[in-house]
């Protein structure tokens, strides 16, 4: 059977962190912004599609990898402008 844990609540006014006002907390810093993550993800997808299409044409895998990486890198500035 699955057990249920009780979480101890912190009384009002005792946030445990000095210097923060009650009820107001700042969100944690993120490594990448949402915009950057979407642009990089779209660039990776474009690179993979171009690489796969290059392999399907009969080109060597190394040439397909170069085509995929260069298309992903070339699409980043365009995607950054389009997604904004």
Q: How much is the pLDDT for 7?
A: 67
- What is the per-residue pLDDT across 9-58, written as a single tens digit (0 to 9) for each? 666 656 555 555 566 677 778 888 999 999 999 999 999 999 999 999 99
Domain contains 70: yes
Q: Specify the number of domains making up the chain.
A: 1
Domain contains 3: no
Q: Work out the number of other CB atoms within 10 angstroms of the CB of residue 71.
A: 18
Between vectors from CA 28 to CA 22 and to CA 31, what angle results, nearest 5°? 170
Domain contains 48: yes
Structure tokens at 11: 């009384």
Domain contains 18: no
Domain contains 13: no
Residues 6+ apart with CB under 8 A from 76: 39, 40, 43
Q: What is the pTM of this model?
A: 0.65
Domain extent for 67: 34-82
């Amino acid at each position: 059977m699955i057990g249920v844990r009780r979480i101890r609540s912190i009384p009002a006014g005792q946030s445990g962190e000095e210097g923060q006002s009650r009820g107001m907390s700042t969100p944690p810093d993120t490594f990448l912004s949402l915009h950057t993550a979407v642009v990089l993800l779209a660039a990776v997808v474009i690179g993979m599609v171009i690489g796969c299409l290059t392999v399907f044409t009969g080109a060597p895998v190394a040439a397909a990898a170069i085509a995929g990486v260069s298309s992903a890198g070339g699409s980043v500035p365009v995607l950054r402008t389009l997604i904004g």
